[in-house]
Amino acid sequence: MTTTAQSAVDLVGVTKTFRPPGADPVEAVRDIDLSIGRGEIVAFLGPNGAGKTTTLDMVLGLTDPTSGTVSVYGRAPRAAVLGGLVSAVLQTGGLLHDLSVRETVAVIASTYRDPQPVDEVLERAGLSALARRRVSKCSGGEQQRLRFALALLPNPDLLILDEPTAGMDVGARHEFWATMRAEVSAGRTVIFATHYLEEADTFAERIVMIARGAVVADGATQEIRARATGRTVTATLPPDRLDGAVRQLRATDSVTDVDTAGDRVVVRAGDSDAVALLLLSELGGTGLEITTGSLDDAFLALTSDGAQR
């Protein structure tokens, strides 16, 4: 076994530039390096136009990178698709409206050598009751579950979901993720793109934030959440106790970052109350301030133009 066989997806120096005729070239993806291990559940989080879909298209072999290499289970992406190792739920389109739900599943099943049984896949995607319904008469959520059923056919090791809940109402979204959860416990690797922070937070183990075609943050969900949702606590400390206090703060749970500015200490932490209590009592701090940002503010801060990795 080679080392690449340990990971599900490897992107090395991947760049994708579109050259629309008569317009300036667009760099949709800029020099992304990323490795996703087997069994990981990873969210690609980023605003619209960040390059999430383009990146996923390259992993699926639907488009080729301008430079760099993409490998899936150590193979070329298209080879992985042909081997039934990878499948995906795509963002839009992709269905023939004059077919029934069951016909759609049957016809895609016919392209695989050894597909999962059609009825079983319909059952797992919660579509058994709708099997005879025309695709054109299905709601957006139902069509999305149909795309999900299609993705289950090859029994893939890697499942890619490109904004799977876009356009669904809250109820449909919860239902979709409930179905997903059951499927994923089977040890699959899952990559999904979303711009809902809350989805990434509840479902992913790891979050890769993408903005303007580049990775701006990458880490365990708890870590990213702390960075995104934490508050900043600042206080003035007695100068002689500053060094000791910084060491103690760094050792505290939920603290992600400690800085000093003169005799003021700047602490970023998930649990700001505990830090504030510590600063005011044990550490003898004064002039305490707590500033907070919303999830969305933090997200924007990480992904906006000014932010650097």
Partner 1 sequence: MNTTYYRMELRRVVRDYMSLFFTAVLPAFLYVIFGASQGYSQEMLPTGEGNVAFYMMVSMAVYGAVTATTSIGGMAAVERMQGWGRQLGLTPMRDPQYVLVKTVLGLTVAAIPVTLIYALGFFTSAQGTGHLWVLTALLALVGAAMFSLYGLVFGLAFKTEGAVSAASGSLVILAFLGNLFFPLSGAMLMVAKFTPLYGIVALARYPVTDGWLISTDGPPVHEPLWVPVASVTVWLVIFATLAILLVQRGRGRQ
Cβ proximity to partner 1: between 112 and 196 the closer is 112
Tokens standing for residue 24: 């300036």
Residue 36's SS3 state is strand
Q: Does the footprint of partner 1 cover residue 14 (CB under 8 A)?
A: no
Binding to partner 1 (CB under 8 A): which residues in 31-70?
Answer: 57, 60-63
Decide whether 93 or 171 has the Cβ nearer to partner 1. Answer: 93
Q: Report in angstroms the alpha-carbon separations of 222 from 81, 210, 254, 302.
A: 32, 17, 9, 16
Q: How far apart are CA 267 and CA 61, in angstroms?
A: 44
Rounded Cα distance between 269 and 10, Å, is 32
Of the candidates 144, 308, 147, which has an alpha carbon nearest to the alpha carbon of residue 214?
308
Give the residue with the Cβ less far from partner 1, 81 or 204.
Answer: 81
Binds partner 1 by CB under 8 A, chosen from 67, 92, 291, 294: 92
* Binding string, residues 116-155; x marks residues near partner 1 by CB under 8 A: -------------------------------x--xx----
Polymer length in residues for the chain:
309
Q: Does 28 bind partner 1 (CB under 8 A)?
A: no
Three-class SS state of 44: strand
56 within 8 A of 9, measured Cβ to Cβ: no
Taking residue 19's Cβ as centre, other Cβ atoms within 10 Å add up to: 10
* Binding track over 201-240 against partner 1, x by CB under 8 A: ----------------------------------------
What x-and-dash track marks residues 151-190 binding partner 1 by CB under 8 A?
x---------------------------------------
Note the residues at the interface with partner 1 (CB under 8 A): 18-21, 57, 60-63, 81-82, 84, 86-88, 90, 92-96, 98-99, 103, 106-113, 147, 150-151
